Structure 1
Amino acid sequence: MFVSHRDLIEKKQISEYVTKQVLVSPKEGWKDHVMRMFTLEKGGKAPHHSHPWQHILYAVEGKGNLFMEGKDYPLTPGSVAYVPDDADHQVSNAGDEKFVFICIVPERGDQ
């Protein structure tokens, strides 16, 4: 069993504008998957990329944008998105405040 709060979980600076937290992983007992939280400061974005695993996004705070397969999808708190295997995508902050989202991937997606 594992219980915590996001404010107590280590934050790893990925770039000047992006922070990552591993909320739940096999280390905490969730076999085969990892739940991460990303915080994108104003101007923050992930690079365009694709990978051979699917993942799920859930917007927590702020305004974001998911660019996937040539189309933009606005994200606001409560928005969910499924990104299939090998889909070209990018997540970015679309507002003036921080954008926070959860991303769930198979364990190999967080290596």
Structure 2
Amino acid sequence: MIIGHKEDIAFVRSTDSSVKGVGMKKIIGSEEGWQDYVMRIVKLEPNGYSFNHNHPWPHINYYIKGQGVLIIEGKEYPVEEGGYSLVPANKQHQWKSTEDSGLEFICIVPKEGHK
């Protein structure tokens, strides 16, 4: 059994030049006993954005703070606190936060999707 709090785990900020203001923290994965999946929290600072990418696994997301857009195959979908999304496998996608609001969300992926 695992019980914890998200504030007890530090965000690891991406240093990749193709993203802006992105951090991630792994909450639960194989080390905690969930062998096939990883639950993490992704944080985009105001006006931040993630990679524009695709891969052969889906993302399951629950938005816990802020506002932004999820872009799938070039179409923008507004996202906000309390919302959820499923990004299908092999679809080009990217997240962007709004200028005045960051965006924080739970992201569940298969273990091969967590780098």
Which TM-score band (shorter chain)? Answer: over 0.9
Paired residue type of 1:3: I
Equivalent-residue separation in structure 2 for 1:106 and 1:69 (angstroms): 21
Equivalent-residue separation in structure 2 for 1:105 and 1:18 (angstroms): 17
Query: For residues 85-100 of structure 1, what are the structure 2 equivalents within 5 Å?
Result: 85-100=89-104
Q: Give CA-to-partner distance per residue, 1:34-64, whole Å, 9 cap, x none.
A: 0010111011111210001111111110001
Query: For residues 57-68 of structure 1, what are the structure 2 equivalents within 5 Å?
Result: 57-68=61-72
Aligned counterpart, 1:28: 32
1:95 to partner: Cα distance: 4.1
Aligned counterpart, 2:80: 76
The TM-score with structure 1 as length reference comes to 0.94
Off by >2 Å, runs of 4+ in structure 1: none
**How many residues are treated as equivalent by the alignment?**
111
Equivalent-residue separation in structure 2 for 1:97 and 1:89 (angstroms): 20
Q: Choose the corresponding residue for 1:101, options 101, 105, 113.
A: 105
SS of the residue 2:60 aligns to: strand
SS of the residue 1:41 aligns to: strand
Equivalent-residue separation in structure 2 for 1:61 and 1:84 (angstroms): 22
Quick check: 2:47–2:101 contact (8 Å CA) kept in 1?
Answer: no
**Higher strand proportion:** 2
Equivalent-residue separation in structure 1 for 2:99 and 2:34 (angstroms): 33
1:97 to partner: Cα distance: 2.4
1:11 to partner: Cα distance: 1.6
Residue 13 (structure 2) pairs with residue 13 (structure 1): yes
1:23 to partner: Cα distance: 0.8
Paired residue type of 1:29: G
Equivalent-residue separation in structure 1 for 2:10 and 2:3 (angstroms): 14
